[in-house]
A and B are shown apart, each in its own frame.
Chain A
Amino acid sequence: MKKQKYSRVLFLCLLLCLTTATAAWAIVEPPPEVYVGDYADVLSAETEQLIIEENERLEALTGAQIVVATVDFLDGMEIEDYAYTVFNEWGIGDAEKNNGLLLLLVIGEENYWAMQGDGIYRALTSGMLDEYLFTYLEDDFAVGDYDAGVAKVFQAFVDWYDNYYQLNENTFPSNDVISGSNNYEENEDIDGGGLVTFIVFIVVLVIIISIIRRNKDRENRKNNSHNYPNNPNYPNSYPNMSGGSMNSGRTFRPYIYPRTSSKPRNTTRPQSKPASFGGGSSRGGGAGRSSAAGLGRSIGRSIGSSVGRSFGGGRSRGGGAGRR
């Protein structure tokens, strides 16, 4: 019976692993060279070298990365979704500036897509991407000369970056850096309702206690009325140790402790720092958030480090342009 249960559990685990592993196979691993992943084997060594050299220059100056990836098929995924996943899982571009660009060619499906990073999507709009692709890539792609098309469009993208960052003139433009932090400040009174409830509860408690005490006092006074002098039921006085009478004409009343303040205690919570969301996740980019299925998937950074390069951790919010 136990064996049956155990094997059932094991079977379910294997099934789960298989499901997740299948999903992992759809998204290619980050390429060792970082900047170019020619999984469909359509690019020449010269084009790959051009891509690597220009990227090294760009990244050193601006943190930008223009990654070119070629695959054969998407295993049923939509090309935009695939590009979005690749972009954010690999973490293309600088983590703070989010200025990466992905050019994805899907040879077996005769399709391509370009997606820009979050930090430049207003400067390099999807419409502009579409124009670049149509002008520099489409004609060669349509006749199967993928290498020539990639080389032309890649160079056009490099020229755009050079112009955007004014690299030719050796000046440093003021870029709008999109902060990775979420400016949402949690309302410190987020449990304002709870605080009010607590205060009301304290007030009510104090009222109840005071009513009970008043009633007790009243009862005590009733019961202890015979303690007062001139009362016929004045109790016998007890002799003190020195032989005299303790009372000696003085009245004994219980000591009445001063009442505590009825003001509620200060229950305001100390001001905590505004919550900041996204800092870690945006910096992590694909690497930090590579929680997608993948048995033993290695992360871009760990692979890239062996050749001194790595993805920058940038992110994209999607969109882009392709062969519509």
Chain B
Amino acid sequence: MKKGWLRDRKVAIVITIIIMILSTGFGAHRSLENRGEYAEWVFYHGSYGDGGGIQSELDTRAGLASNLLIVAGRYLDDEDEAVQRLKNAREALVQAEDIGEKYIANEELSQAADNLAQVLNACSLTENDRRYQRGIIVEMESANEIIGHDEYNTLANAYNRNVLGSFPANILKEIVGVEELETFN
């Protein structure tokens, strides 16, 4: 009985169609996702593969924020609003998981750091601490500028526009669940 069922032409056609649909869907998903992998790789590893991507600069900024908090701790209470704001912003950046969250957290970190720097300017800092504060702010701004030159956004936009935006990927992506890459802005 079983043998007869397998030899049935109609059954064979149905099996063929099912396999073709599944393999097309699976193949499309893998292929589309792989095309976006390089852009994400650049975000974490940099265009030259030397670890100098956006993530590296975000880590640098988080580290510099810690340094600024140490300097601030000598002049301001832990409960000070500006200190708490920078602490929270730094924590949010470290905890952020997807690229959109990282961007928002990074923006808040910039504002919180500027705010704390202004508060510290009103304090009587030692010459050393004033140099530290200035240097830290300069480094944080410099890291942001480096982020601005990174090619991740260009790659992500190109992927979204040229790969996912063109036929038949623009239809397949909805069916197989491939999402556009988030840009860092």
Contacts and interface: CB of A to CB of B under 8 A. Distances in A.
B138 A127 contact: yes
B31 A324 contact: no
Interface in A202-234: 204, 207-208, 211, 214-215
Contact of A191 (B31, B38, B50, B134): B31
Given A178-B48, A182-B49, A184-B49, A193 B29 contact: yes
B149 A317 contact: yes
A139 interface: no
A125 B7 contact: no
A200 interface: yes
Contact of A187 (B27, B34, B149): B34
B148 A184 contact: no
Contacts of B135: 127-128, 130-131
Contacts of B47: 182, 277-278
Interface string A293-324: 00000000000000000000000011111001
Interface stretch (B15-23, B92-100, B159-167): B15-23
Interface string B58-83: 00000000000000000000000000
Contacts of B38: 184, 186
B153 to A, nearest CB: 14
Contacts, number: 114
A93 to B, nearest CB: 15
A205 to B, nearest CB: 9
B154 to A, nearest CB: 14
A56 interface: no
Contacts of A207: 12, 15-16
A178 B23 CA distance: 42
A96 B16 CA distance: 55
B16 A125 contact: no
A193 B26 contact: yes
A187 B27 CA distance: 15
23 contacts: A118-B48, A125-B139, A126-B142, A127-B142, A130-B135, A130-B138, A131-B135, A179-B49, A180-B48, A184-B38, A186-B38, A190-B35, A193-B30, A194-B27, A196-B23, A200-B19, A200-B23, A204-B16, A204-B20, A207-B12, A208-B12, A211-B9, A320-B142
Interface of A: 80, 84, 118, 125-128, 130-131, 178-184, 186-187, 190-194, 196-197, 200-201, 204, 207-208, 211, 214-215, 277-278, 282, 317-321, 324
